[in-house]
Amino acid sequence: MAEKITPRATDYSQWYIDIVTNARLADYAPVKGCMVIRPRGYALWEMIQQGLDGLFKETGHVNAYFPLLIPESFIKKEAEHVEGFSPELAVVTHAGGEKLEEPLVIRPTSETIIWSMYKKWIQSYRDLPLLINQWCNVVRWEKRTRLFLRTSEFLWQEGHTAHATADEAEEETLRILDVYRRFAEDFMAIPVLHGLKSDSEKFAGAVRTYCIEAMMQDARSLQAGTSHNLGQNFAKAFDVTFQTRTKALDHVWATSWGVSTRLIGALIMTHADDKGLVVPPRLAPVEVVIVPIFKNETRDAVTGFAQKLRDALKPGFRVTLDDDDQNTPGWKFSEYELQGIPLRVEIGPRDMEKGQCVAVRRDTGEKIFLPVAEAAVRLRALLDDIQKSLFKRALDFRTSHTFRVTEYEELKKLLDDPGGFIEAGWCGDAACEARVKEETKATIRLIPLDGTRMSTAPEGSTCIICGKSARRLVIFGRAY
RNA sequence: CGGGAUGUAGCCUAGCGGCUAAGGCGCCUGCUUUGGGAGCAGGAGAGCGGUGGUUCGAAUCCACUCAUCCCGACCA
């Protein structure tokens, strides 16, 4: 089944598709831009779900579910929202053999259907905050698709919260941004920048959009998660009011935030190499695979020994044993490297005699001989080290591809070679931003935060385009 | 929706007017193997994206059409 990956270094996106398909994570379905996620890819998604759900619950959020189909009129209630999403809506016009009175759109995001319900659920400040998340699929009919990064239908998590004050909503927006940052860095070993989107890049209907941005191995940027402060926009559009402690009537304050199956794309494009996937231990559905090496006469002894090791490791590890004798050890080595399993443990007759096994790291390929008696302790330490090393490797790459410039020409030059994140002054004018995009294809990925506030530019900074005084230093980059 | 490219077996590719469409990977059978994607022998599987033309003869030429990929515009 698996064929050798033939990376094309000059064509990173093709290399990426090769990794995805060779590692059997996903295929395109016979529906424009729709993805079939195979079990191996879905296992990664389940690990992401598990990790994020844990963090959401720590912060008091609960899961719920809202419908796939949304009356078209709902989408139209918020002016910017409808403008932003209209071009990419898939619409159901017929059902039950009849033309519908009102078309139903397949959710591109659920703000509108959720806020139509929040109107019924919220009357008093006692009902707030309302902290709900849902795991679901959404459809956005994009012009161009790419496996995991931009498919017509994708899986995601979308949180929708309602609060009594503007400050609370802002706090929530930033709290979730920090959850996303921690998840990306601690679980996925993907270093991210966090910050604010410029107005031209913000969510349709939001007051402010915050995001995390990761750098892929070709130095392009990937938006890995967004957290929006919606202000009172949706509360006003859906007339959601509540009685305050002081008996006044006010519209509630809202946030929404999400990450998608794109995270799997980010994982691949951050860590994979020419041998295939590299999955950080904390996210790996299987952390350790044991490969016994035997001849016919030694099969029983070696597999018995390997089974004992597996059983000993089971309580603390996600471990599997591949004692199938249809494939050779060499085949298995390549296969598990392709799958990105962090540690492979080899056990052969020679090891058995010495009471040892051989651990092989996926990230470095290093072989480590260790006594079976110490296996649990040593393997755990190795997994921890792999987790840290992967993060460090990605961080070092990002650091070596991050620059600060003061001249527009420098910005252009660095974008072409070697590419990356480029910090520069910006006056705040959308026209300057647009000009950079038009001339270089780079966009403002984010405006970095200083603590929880936007960072201000050093004294005397000027806009890279117009030369006027720059209020902020922002991060430019070419994005997926 | 513009510009470019490609559709031949499950996958990758060769063939670019002519004789039973060729090879590699994978698959099946048997034997031998097993510490880096094993070896040998045998075997199954396609009528060349679709439609319509040109021709004695089309996978090869022409027209239309469909699909996919790449580069733009749009986006998580």
Closest CA to A59 of A177, A164, A211, A167: A177
Task: State both tokens at A235.
Answer: 């509360």
Quote the pLDDT of residue A10. Answer: 47
Quote the pLDDT of residue A261. Answer: 93
Quote the pLDDT of residue A11. Answer: 64
Integer distance in angstroms from CA A55 to C1' B34? Answer: 46
The answer to whether the beta carbons of residues A290 and A320 sit under 8 Å apart is yes
Q: Which residues pair with A344 in a beta bridge?
A: A289, A360
Quote the pLDDT of residue A237. Answer: 94
Amino acid at A17: I
Quote the pLDDT of residue A131. Answer: 98
* Positions of chain A with pLDDT lower than 70, given as ranges: 1-11, 452
Nucleotides of strand B under 7 angstroms from a protein beta carbon: 1, 11, 25-27, 33-38, 67-76
Point out the nucleotide closest to A145 (alpha carbon to C1′).
B75
Integer distance in angstroms from CA A313 to C1' B26? Answer: 35
Task: State both tokens at A339.
Answer: 């799958």
Point out the nucleotide closest to A1 (alpha carbon to C1′).
B26
Provide the ipTM.
0.82
Q: Where are the beta strands (DSSP E) in A83-123?
A: 91-95, 98-106
Integer distance in angstroms from CA A30 to C1' B48? Answer: 22
The answer to whether the beta carbons of residues A254 and A162 sit under 8 Å apart is yes
φ and ψ at residue A433, rounded to 5 degrees: -60, -45
The packing angle between helices A262-271 and A375-400, to 10°, is 90
Point out the nucleotide closest to A479 (alpha carbon to C1′).
B75
